Amino acid sequence: MIEAIPLPSTDDPLDAPYWEAARRGELVVQTCRACGQRRFPPRPMCPTCQSFEHLWAPLSGKGRIWSFVFPHPPLLPVFAQIAPYNVIIVELADDPSIRMVGNLVTAADGPINQVDPTTIKIGTPVRVVFHRVDNDVTLARWVVA
């Protein structure tokens, strides 16, 4: 079992721009250059018009909690140490059909088990913050807006 957080690969040309924007503290989404449809997670082709051409558009960084859970052991060691913690899914204000997995925190670099679990509710407005994990990985997280 790995001892650290499972990290995303950030050097795949397909979604490297998402991770590069995250390192700059910006939330971006893949957008079809031909028809404007947004899509997440990133993929090569637009499902609406089948174009391979896309760009990366910035998002407002605002959303609402769509759902949440609190994992308890048995877990990977790095998560077992801080369990229970929260995992949330956020639906974006810019486009509620886009949903992203994240954590609710009180501060960008704070622990993911800090927010009082009894206060977490579906529908709560949130905004994005960014947490640097290492040289190439910065993770989007969320604070109550």
Partner 1 sequence: MLKDATAIVGIGETVFAKNLEPSELELACQAIKAALDDAGIRSAEVDALSSYTMEETLEFEVARNLGMADITFFSQVGYGGGAGCAAVGHVAMAVATGVANVGVVWRSRKRSDPRKRVWAQVSPRVTDHWKYSRPWGLVRPVDEVAMFWRRYMHEYGATRDHLANVALACRRHANRNPRAFMYQRPLTREEYMTARWISEPLCLFDNCLESDGALAVVIVRADRAADCPHPAAYIHAWSQGLTRQHQNMTNYHSDNPMQGAAWAAARNMWRQADLRPRDVKVAQIYDAFTPLIPFCLEAYGFCGEGEGGAFTENGALELGGGLPINTSGGSLSEAYIHGMNLITEGVRQIRGTSTAQVPNADVCLVTSAYVVPTSAVLLRR
Residues that bind partner 1 (CB under 8 A): 1-2, 4-9, 12, 40-41, 47, 66-72, 74-76, 79, 84-85, 87, 89, 97-103, 112, 117, 122, 133, 137, 139, 141
Q: Which is nearer to partner 1, 14 or 57 (CB)?
A: 14
33 Ramachandran zone, left/alpha/beta (phi>0; psi -120 to 50):
alpha
Least Å distance between CB 43 and partner 1? 8
For 31, phi then psi, to 5°, come to -130, 135
Q: Which is nearer to partner 1, 69 or 145 (CB)?
A: 69
Q: Which helix (H) or strand (E) holds 78?
A: helix 77-80
Q: Which is nearer to partner 1, 8 or 25 (CB)?
A: 8
